[in-house]
Amino acid sequence: MLEDGTDVSAETSRRLSCDAGKVVMKHDSEGKILDVGRRTRTIPTAIRRALTARDEGCQFPGCGLKFCEAHHLKHWADGGETSLDNLVLLCRRHHRAVHEEGYQIEHASNGELRFLRPEGWEIPYVPPAPSLSEDPIVSISALLVEDDVTIDSTTGFPRWDGGWLDLNWAIQGYRPL
């Protein structure tokens, strides 16, 4: 339950408590409060700093967003440690995907992380999009010049002359591949 009384699902509360301030209240069997602990972070500042230095941004394939939450691979409520080995940075969107939408993250045998879709298919590694800090037109033009690509008014025209598909020729062309 959130502070304003809104009920949320168990997975949502796990997501919110993955990286949050925490005050532990102990209740007796009748629900009376026995003890209220000090407010602490679920992720101490030093570990958080080391995690940000290691991951730099969201680790979900292809994302790389800088503004992130820390995720416990094995949640602390299930006894998971708050150590670098058990933590990964995820943006809010991908943190939700992992807790509430069935995406999974696991350690591969080589120690790297594997990201799986809800059906269990692995999401392949995708490099984060390059950050275009300056004017994007200027940056993209510079990348094209670097790769020796010229774009002019005819770039979008197909080279096809409108003739019929020669299936035999096409198969002969593909067969060696």
Binding site for Zn ion (CB under 5 A): 18, 58, 60, 63, 65, 71, 91, 94
Looking at beta carbons only, is 64 or 152 nearer to Zn ion? 64
CA atoms of 138 and 81, how far apart (whole Å): 46
Looking at beta carbons only, is 43 or 91 nearer to Zn ion? 91
CA atoms of 28 and 25, how far apart (whole Å): 10
Q: Please check whether residue 14 is in contact with residue 99, taking contact to mean a CB–CB distance below 8 angstroms.
A: yes
Looking at beta carbons only, is 27 or 92 nearer to Zn ion? 92
Q: Taking the complex as a whole, how short is the minimal distance between the CB of residue 146 and Zn ion, in angstroms? A: 28
Question: Of 101, 83, 84, which is closest to residue 92 (Cα–Cα)?
Answer: 101
Q: Taking the complex as a whole, how short is the minimal distance between the CB of residue 73 and Zn ion, in angstroms? A: 8
Q: Taking the complex as a whole, how short is the minimal distance between the CB of residue 52 and Zn ion, in angstroms? A: 14
Q: Please check whether residue 128 is in contact with residue 63, taking contact to mean a CB–CB distance below 8 angstroms.
A: yes
CA angle centred on 176, ends 172 and 177, rounded to 5°: 115
Question: Of 137, 163, 14, which is closest to residue 77 (Cα–Cα)?
Answer: 14
Looking at beta carbons only, is 26 or 93 nearer to Zn ion? 93
Looking at beta carbons only, is 27 or 66 nearer to Zn ion? 66
Q: Taking the complex as a whole, how short is the minimal distance between the CB of residue 25 and Zn ion, in angstroms? A: 22
Q: Taking the complex as a whole, how short is the minimal distance between the CB of residue 91 and Zn ion, in angstroms? A: 3
CA atoms of 87 and 74, how far apart (whole Å): 8
Radius of gyration of the chain (CA): 25
